[in-house]
Amino acid sequence: MITQVHFLLTYQCTLECEHCFVCSSPLSEGTFTPSQISAVLDQAGRLGTVDTVYFEGGEPFLFYPVLLEGLRQARGRGLSAGIVTNGYFATSEENARCFLEPIKTLGISDLSISNDIFHCENRQDNAARRALDTAREMGLPAMVLALDPGGSGPETRASLREEKKGVISGGSIMFRGRAAAKLSRYAEARDWRQFTSCPYEDLRNPSRLHVDAYGNLQICQGICMGNVWERPLDELVRDYSPRNHTICGPLIEGGPAQLAKNLGYTPPEAGVADACHLCWLARKSVREKFPGILAPAQVYCDR
């Protein structure tokens, strides 16, 4: 039962993180308009099960008026709303309050702020930390998203590299998108045959979906149920048949290992980083054969 819809408000971002699922960057394109948000909310509302929306990206605060309008629309429909951000706007406490006051007025249930070694070299003195501290002082429900819980202070360049490798080897990263392209070589290689189930997503009965401005309705990053500008979200959900889905069917049957076999993909002899890495490699190898299903291009670092 779908209870959450996550808007990828934009693919544009202030950063170009090595571990980003959707290969966001300052040059990325693809941003919702207010009318598009309204259309998706109307479609989701017809399901009668959605109670929460998130606005993420990319960096949603880059298009602040659109973000605020999206929050107004969601809250006006009685939905809980959350935001995922890197907190770049908190160049000072005063500036942070300017951005956060209207959001507090609208009311949100979650403000998740990314602050780890892949986002900020100095975990203690940075915009993300100022955004978090200011939000909490204002009574907003703010929390940290971090691949390296606990964090560290200022580090040397050499130790930063070592710390990143430690996070990678510690199993905190899912190797999708840019993480698969950039970081998988630093992970321990594993026999691809062991990945016989999907460890992160309930593909039989998903509870959340991600949608971007291009209309791609994603069950998992890079695996689409369809396009909401071609068929409404509520129809796509109601017609979703997990075992008959070209990609989800094999994943349900036998995980990424089965998907690789079904797609005719030969995994690297040296092994793969994790289940996500194998799944991503297999999908990327045949992406042109399944337009509209293996999308968007951003997840495969093709843009």
pLDDT at res. 94: 98
CB 74, CB 41: distance < 8 Å = yes
> What is the C-alpha separation between 109 and 53, in angstroms, rounded?
10
Cα angle: 236, vertex 284, 170; to 5 degrees: 100
> What is the C-alpha separation between 100 and 134, in angstroms, rounded?
9
pLDDT at res. 162: 65
Model confidence band, residue 142 (pLDDT cutoffs 50, 70, 90):
very high
Q: Which residues of 97-108 are buried (b: 16+ CB within 10 A; e: fewer)?
A: eebbeebeeeeb
Task: Kindly report, residue by residue over 262-274, the tens digit of the pLDDT.
Answer: 999 999 999 999 9
pLDDT at res. 76: 98
Least confident of 3-12, 65-74, 169-178, 285-294: 169-178
Domains of the chain: 4-188+207-240+294-300 (3.20.20)
| CA-based nearest residue to 74, from 49, 29, 106, 101 | 106
**pLDDT, mean of residues 73-91:** 98
Three-class secondary structure of residue 122 per DSSP: coil
DSSP class of residue 206 equals -
Which of residues 174 and 211 earns the better pLDDT score?
A: 211
| CA-based nearest residue to 247, from 255, 236, 235 | 255
**Beta-ladder partners of 145:** 114
pLDDT at res. 159: 63
> What is the C-alpha separation between 34 and 25, in angstroms, rounded?
22
Model confidence band, residue 169 (pLDDT cutoffs 50, 70, 90):
low
Is 252 a residue whose pLDDT tops 90? yes
pLDDT at res. 160: 61
Cβ count within 10 A of residue 266: 11
Model confidence band, residue 302 (pLDDT cutoffs 50, 70, 90):
confident
pLDDT at res. 221: 95
> What is the C-alpha separation between 216 and 229, in angstroms, rounded?
8
pLDDT at res. 158: 52
CB 174, CB 277: distance < 8 Å = no
Share of the chain above pLDDT 70, in %: 92
pLDDT at res. 204: 97
Task: Kindly report, residue by residue over 222-247, the tens digit of the pLDDT.
Answer: 999 999 999 999 999 999 999 999 99
Share of the chain above pLDDT 90, in %: 85
pLDDT at res. 116: 83
> What is the C-alpha separation between 213 and 141, in angstroms, rounded?
27
Share the mean pLDDT of the chain: 93
Model confidence band, residue 118 (pLDDT cutoffs 50, 70, 90):
confident
pLDDT at res. 285: 97
pLDDT at res. 291: 95
